[in-house]
Amino acid sequence: MFLPIYQLIKKYSPRIRGLIFKLLFSSKRISVGKNFQCDTWPSIIIDENAKFVIGNHVTFRRNVEIRAHGNSKIHLKGNNRIDRGVRILGNNNAEISIDKNTRIGLYTVLNGGDSISIGKKVLISGFVYLQTSMHNHNKNGNIQDQGYKHGSIEIHDDVWLGSHVVVLPNCVLSKGCVVGSNAVVTKSAEKENVLAGVPAKIIKERS
């Protein structure tokens, strides 16, 4: 039997919307690969010297926000699913790279004042915050007026970040790490460490 018209629209509208987005917005600053799909068009600001690259077979859910300022570059390498309400911000000379088959959970924020590198087949749950910038906070003067310190974040292949995890600047999570929900990562971790707590500490190795 033929599907009712509303079911056909529901099934194919993300693909059609993605194709229209590609046709309208592809440019020197924005590159869109094959089979881009989106439930709603992302909110996008790309500065003149910044770049945003979407690889093949990428899906955006509703209300995704992309900001690339300065000389930054945001690159989704392919087969990525970016869930509802995700915000990806690049600034300065930062490169934000999300490798193939990685999934980003709903309302997660990638705050890229410095570079963020996320490997292959990484699972990032909902409401995660990757924070590469920290306010200077000397006692002489208002914090708001003192600018920032920056440090990159690296998340290697096969890492899983539970919901509400925060990762702070200058942290490297090596291949296969697992970070429990609500943990705050302040230091790097070796291959297949399991971390939990505030601040996050190694509680065991993956078995």
Torsion angle, alpha carbons of 131, 41, 48, 106, to 10 = 10
Half-sphere exposure of 157 (CA within 13 A, CB side): 3
CB 13 within 8 A of CB 34: no
Encode pLDDT of 73-127 as tens digits.
999 999 999 999 999 999 999 999 999 999 999 999 999 999 999 999 999 999 9
Pick the more confident residue, 83 or 135. Answer: 83
Half-sphere exposure of 131 (CA within 13 A, CB side): 16
Q: How confident is the model at residue 174 (pLDDT cuts 50, 70, 90)?
A: very high
**Distance of CA 185 to CAs 50, 67, 169, Å?**
29, 24, 9
Domain containing residue 60: 5-205
pLDDT(9) > 80? no
Which residues are registered as beta bridge partners of 151? none
What percent of the chain clears pLDDT 70, i.e. is strictly above it? 96
Please report the pLDDT score of residue 146 as a whole number. Answer: 87
Q: What is the pLDDT of residue 201?
A: 97
Structural domains in the chain (count): 1
- Mean pLDDT, residues 176-190 taken together: 98
Higher pLDDT, 153 or 8: 153
pLDDT band for position 129 (cuts 50, 70, 90): very high
1 pLDDT more than 60: no
pLDDT, tens digit, 9 for 90 and up, residues 63-85: 999 999 999 999 999 999 999 99
As a whole number, the mean pLDDT across the chain is 94
Q: Which of 99, 119, 13, 97 is nearest to 61 (CA)?
A: 13
Residue 6 in this model has a pLDDT that exceeds 90: no
The predicted model scores a pTM of 0.91
Q: Indicate if the pLDDT at residue 176 is higher than 90.
A: yes
Neighbours of 177 (CB within 10 A): 26
Would the pLDDT of 2 be above 60? no
Q: Which two tokens stand for residue 186?
A: 């302040």
Which domain CATH number covers 89?
Answer: 2.160.10.10
